[in-house]
Amino acid sequence: MAKSLLIISRQAPWSGPSAREALDIALAGGAFDLPLGMLFLDDGVLQLLPSQNARALQQKDLTANLQALEMFGVEDLFACSTSLAERGMSPDALNVEPLNVLQDEEIAALIDRYDQVITI
Amino acid sequence: MKFAIALYSPAHAPSSRRALLFAQAALAAGHEIVRLFFYQDGVHSASSAVVTPQDELDVPAQWREFVTTHQLDGVVCIAAALRRGVLNEAEARRYSRTAASVAAPWELSGLGQLHDAVQEADRLICFGGP
Amino acid sequence: MSTLHVLSHSPFADSRLSTCLRVLGGEDAILLCGDATYALNASTAARQALEARADGLKLFVLDEDATARSIELPDWVKAVDYPGFVELSVHYDKVNTWL
């Protein structure tokens, strides 16, 4: 049975290449049909803000890639409730779905469910 | 145990040396290293162009020696490398760039190699940051 | 299931340690290395936060980093060398490095 991998994305969408490169790991794994999950934590939840306009910074729009995760077989998407609240974000107004919003203790349980984890 | 070791930081970051020392300790303890995968700024740890002052630790050279001595599979993520200007001869030719800065024992390959290593290994350990 | 969380960023301008402490599992451990070792500086909120968890949380520090910074280690932290670091990575089910 394939080992499962949880990718924890902690950076804002355009703070550098981290958000993009975390997503690339997920998409690559999805392409190989591997069991993957992705958790948005700390500034990583900022990737989930709706109405982003990457063009204004001449950057690529990550939203399209995030929405493609499901198509690549990465369906287990999670966001940290505390991180959302800290950043003034409502769990009901995110640019990706379906997405599970988790409390802190649920995140501990989430990490336990996966065989490996990468926090990027 | 089988280890997959991923490095995300350049040679001058303390975590690059830390990853190397961990890798050496893992082998010394009788464990196996399935693959070293250099991603994000980790591609710079594989650079053959880094010039280290004489009185400092030459981390890229130490990585090269470690991989060569133990005949390990040292992979540099090609997408991360290209984006950061770390190219081997073939890629430098392909993109008409003036310099190649990664060579044997390092191989440029895709993220599939990271996933493959994660599947094969018992433990994935990542190093990055300070 | 148990996870070894590895931190190397200084806790003073960074949220990794505080977030890690929030999402820690009951069987988990933390290894401080690099600048995360400064979390053990006396009279800091970081050290207090760690000490408050000292009963249930297993805390380790990479000895070379504590030595380099002349940090006096309390008895609720165990210093490990690289062979010890390798042993920890084998003992815990997985390693989560906060890159």
- Residue A116, pLDDT above cutoff 90: yes
Cα separation, A18 vs B40, in Å, equals 8
- Summarize pLDDT for B45-85 with one digit per residue, the tens: 999 999 999 999 999 999 999 999 999 999 999 999 999 99
Nearest to B118 among A5, A17, A119 (CB): A5
Q: Is the ipTM of this complex over 0.95?
A: yes
Q: What percent of chain A has pLDDT over 70?
A: 100
Which chain B residues contact residue C99 at CB under 8 A? 8, 126, 128-129
The answer to whether the Cβ–Cβ distance between B130 and C98 falls below 8 Å is: no
- Note the pLDDT of residue C72: 94
Contacts for B55 with CB less than 8 Å, ≥ 6 apart: none
Q: SS3 of B113, please?
A: helix
User: How does residue A89 score in pLDDT terms, banded at 50, 70 and 90?
Assistant: very high
Query: Taking the model in full, what pTM does it have?
Result: 0.97
Q: Which fold has domain A5-119?
A: Hypothetical Protein Ychn; Chain: A, (3.40.1260)
Which chain A residues contact residue B113 at CB under 8 A? none
Nearest alpha carbon to residue C19 among C43, C37, C46: C46
- Summarize pLDDT for B1-25 with one digit per residue, the tens: 999 999 999 999 999 999 999 999 9
User: How does residue A97 score in pLDDT terms, banded at 50, 70 and 90?
Assistant: confident
Q: Which two tokens stand for residue A42?
A: 């700390």
- Note the pLDDT of residue B28: 98
Looking at CA atoms only, how far is residue A85 from chain B in angstroms? 27
The answer to whether the Cβ–Cβ distance between A115 and C26 falls below 8 Å is: no
Do A11 and A22 contact (CB within 8 A), yes or no?
yes
Do B8 and B127 contact (CB within 8 A), yes or no?
yes
Cα separation, C52 vs C61, in Å, equals 17
Q: How many CA atoms lie within 13 A of B115 on its CB side?
A: 22
The answer to whether the Cβ–Cβ distance between B18 and C9 falls below 8 Å is: no
User: Is residue B126 annotated as part of the catalytic site, yes or no?
Assistant: no
Q: Which of B11, B43, B75, B77 is catalytic?
A: B77
Q: Which residues pair with B38 in a beta bridge?
A: B7, B76
- Summarize pLDDT for A70-85 with one digit per residue, the tens: 999 999 999 999 999 9
Q: CB-based contact (8 Å) between B1 and chain A?
A: no
Cα separation, A35 vs C87, in Å, equals 27
Residue A119 Cα to chain centre, angstroms:
11
- Summarize pLDDT for A32-55 with one digit per residue, the tens: 999 999 999 999 999 999 999 999
Q: CB-based contact (8 Å) between C97 and chain B?
A: yes
The answer to whether the Cβ–Cβ distance between C94 and B24 falls below 8 Å is: no
Cis peptide before B53 (omega within 30 of 0): no
- Note the pLDDT of residue C44: 96
Nearest alpha carbon to residue C80 among C95, C65, C92, C96: C65
Find, in chain A, the residue whose alpha carbon is nearest to that of C25.
A108
Cα separation, B37 vs B54, in Å, equals 28
**Domains in chain C: ranges and CATH:** 3-97 (3.40.1260.10)
Cα separation, A53 vs C25, in Å, equals 37
Q: Which two tokens stand for residue C26?
A: 């009951």
> In B21-89, where do the E strands start and end?
32-38, 74-77
Residues of chain C under the 70 pLDDT cut:
none
> In chain B, where do the E strands start and end?
2-7, 32-38, 74-77, 107-109, 123-127
- Note the pLDDT of residue A98: 85
Do A80 and C58 contact (CB within 8 A), yes or no?
no
Annotated domain spans of chain A: 5-119
The answer to whether the Cβ–Cβ distance between C99 and B1 falls below 8 Å is: no
- 3-state SS of chain B: helix, strand, coil percent to 5? 40, 20, 40
Q: CB-based contact (8 Å) between B79 and chain A?
A: yes
Q: Which amino acid is at B34?
A: V
Which chain C residues contact residue B124 at CB under 8 A? 94-95
User: How does residue A60 score in pLDDT terms, banded at 50, 70 and 90?
Assistant: confident
Q: Which two tokens stand for residue A109?
A: 């349980």
Nearest to B111 among A18, A25, A120 (CB): A25
Average pLDDT, integer, range A25-35? 96
User: How does residue B33 score in pLDDT terms, banded at 50, 70 and 90?
Assistant: very high
Q: How many CA atoms lie within 13 A of C25 on its CB side?
A: 20
Place of tokens 């003073």: C12
